[in-house]
Amino acid sequence: MTATLGWSKYLFGDNRSSASLVYLGHSGRHYSYTFGSGNAAFGGTFLADFGSEGDNPGSQLFYVPTGISDPIVTGDAAFLANLNGFIDGNSCLKGHRGSIIGRNACETGSTSIINLRLSQEVSLWSDKKLELMLDIENFGNLLNDDWGRVENYSSPSNVALANVAIAGGQYVYSPISGSQVSPETIAPDAAIARLPSVYRIQFGVRFRF
């Protein structure tokens, strides 16, 4: 979504003063919930181009249990309860219970960016003029650090929830790390993309003749 708002007036003789706002709104970035690569035969291993499991977990898409009593999922009861709580609080996962979630089925939060331009003409001689310009990209982030932020997961945007094995016709889920001790710690939060998430200020001068 794009929207613009402009204002212009001659405040100093025949020198135009202008201001414009451009709003850019877009949906979040897509990512996939997967199994970890603790079991290389099933979950896959991370690519050599990536430095660690955290950079690129296994590529096998995650099976979302129907609930605590899903007959084809077993594992440590406490971990499964925490996993279930996480799924209940995640609208994307919750909508895929009882199935293998699709590739890039989920997305991070939407992003709203506002760009501001101020310009002022200055008469020189005859019909010659200077135009002074001030551009502030991601103006909202200048006002508030929490505005205009772009969330993403590192490419290839896989978010692992559990390691898995197959035994007796069931998925056997286990924690990827010891930090998965509550529904809130099952998956990492999306990172803030640094360059798109900060404001930038640029000054410019244009000579008109």
Domain boundaries, the chain: 2-208
pLDDT tier at 57, thresholds 50, 70, 90: low
Give the Cα separation of 206 and 209 in Å (integer).
Answer: 10
pTM over 0.85: no
Residue-wise pLDDT tens digits, 62-75:
999 999 999 999 99
For 71-93, the pLDDT digits (tens) are 999 999 999 999 999 999 999 99
For the chain, the maximum distance between any two Cα atoms, rounded to a whole number of angstroms, is: 90
Q: Which two tokens stand for residue 151?
A: 């969330």
- pLDDT, tens digit, 9 for 90 and up, residues 139-193: 999 999 889 988 888 778 899 999 998 888 899 999 998 899 999 999 988 888 8
The mean of the pLDDT values for the chain is 87
Q: Is a pLDDT exceeding 90 seen at residue 21? A: yes
